[in-house]
Structure 1
Amino acid sequence: MAQKQKTKGKTPESSMPTGIQDRAYWSDLLYKMASPVILNLANGTLKKNMPVEKAPGYGLNAEKVTYLEAVGRTMAGVAPWLALPDDDTKEGRQRKELKDALLKGIVNAVNPSNPDYLNFRTEAQPIVDAAYVAQAFLRAPKALWEPLDSVTKKRVVEEFKSLRTRTGAYNNWLLFAGISEVFLWSIGEQPDPVRIEFARRKIIEWYQGDGWYSDGPSFSMDYYNSYVIHPMLVDFFKVLLDKKRIRTEDYETAVKRMVRYSEFSERIIAPDGSYPAFGRSITYRTAAFQALAQTALMEKLPAYIAPGQVRGALTAVMHRMYDNCNNFDNNGWLVLGFCGHQPEIADTYTSTGSLYMATLGFLPLGLAADNKFWTDPATDWTSKKAWSSQPFKKDYHVDY
């Protein structure tokens, strides 16, 4: 009897989309999401054309922060994808268009005479979004940093150094300051060692165990371990490792903790692709799976979690989130909400630009189309196995 249930519950492989179909869906969706930001920035029309919707009770100066939010977050999400070589497929043409446009856009973003000159120099919020720009450069240096002209590079450095006049919250914001400094270090500039060391020490002190960091001195049950902490800490530590400022085992521990957290991420994806809407910043949508996406991108998934399993789970999330919820306005911009337009659930620091964190869930597009993440057959993920009477791996606690 149990064997019949198992056979009945398992999704037939013949009914699952192929990796080619999944990749086409992902790339079309990321192109749809990112192109309004990137193409407008390239044309100097981002501030002119991007709507600025704000959460009820919004507490920042949106006109001074929302555009850099949109650009930095989008850059960090598309960077691995744009780092792939050019090719003449539909996806390859999409990538090349966005890469060429983004390089033009970066020039505009740091040119004081351009209408889309972005604000790094006032307000605290740019500390956050400069960090995502830095993360994008670290994720795709050959595609996004090296091709820039010398004047633009000099201007980027000046904008980053201007951030040192301000400080932010005593939580994940320490990582934002730290990764901006190690980016500067990676391109041969003198970093602020205090900001680097403070971020390194405090984030590690805030580790709670079993793959979870607290976001500051107290623990918050939300998705910030994925939105920020694990992916940015791993990228931050990679530069420190390259500079011989941390031990190999320190970096490897950070990676192992991200992998452990990613196991939870894979397990919370329900059989229908939904996931719990809890904690702060749920308007960041698919950024909730950045840590799982980065673990897949780095090819560090645990042996029992097949790449096709993660692809199937994340694709189900995307279909559930973007096919069944009206998350774009008539001009293709993201709207405030989780599933559709729900401005009442946006946080008081959230405006239109903030929403482009959603691109961070697409990092596996940085894997080539012939990588096993895309070529392996899609398989059922953990919750789908569990709720269809299939065998699945029981969970456990880890001590690192």
Structure 2
Amino acid sequence: MTAILTFFTTLACIVTLLPFSRHPHWAIRGMDFPRLQFAIFIAVLLIANFVFLNKQSQFTWVVISITALCLAWQLWWILPYTRLWPHEVKETKESSPDKQISIMTANVLTPNRKVDKLIQLVQIHKPDVLVTLESDQWWEDQLKVVEVDMPHSIKCPLDNLYGMHVFSRLPLSNQEIAYLVEKEVPSIHTTLTLDSGDKVRMHFMHPAPPSPTENPQSAERDAELIIVAKSVAKSNQPIIVTGDLNDVAWSATTRLFRKISGLLDPRVGRGMLNTFHADFPFLRWPLDHLFHSQHFTLNSIKRLPPIGSDHFALLTKLTLSPTVGADQTGLESNTSDHNWAKEITENQSISVNDVPQVDNSK
């Protein structure tokens, strides 16, 4: 039993220590994803070490101490996405309807044909904006019905799992589809006008994930995240960034995105809202995101019922409340963060000027 528990403690150390490396290889970056699962595994292992190992042995206490440190480190990353943590974004107290915006973010899975499930959710929740990811020409054709209530749209149908569509009840301007890092992976950038007349800068993203079947490294994904972060950091305009970022909320790279951009995460203190994988309850993590500037407070954020995809859709309702939200703060950056961000973008030979300028505040 000692040998078995020692082996699993060594394994716990490996999965805990690997993400310390900033190497972008998928096998290393992938260790960021299942931190909740790792934490559960290590917690069970810690109990087993207490129960089965000889507590008179100094070696036992070394093993227990190492296991406890691994558990503490995993929890440090995921606890902000539990109700044990303070809210990063304030709740909306008094909401003016003309300053509200609701956004449904849905990775539909290209071969999925259960479009009626998504349309039903749109009819029930009546979002102001629907963004679909992995939507090809078939999905575009099927979703024409939503254009009755959402007449403003930006369409980029692709059959490579990176198609993207935006449908909006509210007017869109300065629309641009950009291929920031990879020539077949688009992002959409636009300005949305609320009923109040206020302008909101919108960025819809779906960078390719690091994986053995797509990009062997996370370099391309990381560069797209950071270049958008740098772009929005220069703006004083209300900003929303949403999409399937193929990165978990608690990873070092998503945290770097938040530090550089200054954007807030409404999930902090409210729950993980794991949107992937819809078919495997024990293998889920938050891949679909919505970040926003301090101009907004939160009405609600929730994961929606399944739509036949491997992702759940995410519905977020915000209110433009610049005065109330003025003292909201997220993660703060330091010199090391900016140096890392610079290294990431320079390695992909891209600059902040590559991001479409949809800022109306200047």
Q: Which structure's CA Rg is the greater one? A: 2
TM-score of the superposed pair, with normalisation by structure 2: 0.32
Give the structure with the higher percent strand: 2
TM-score, L = length of structure 1:
0.30
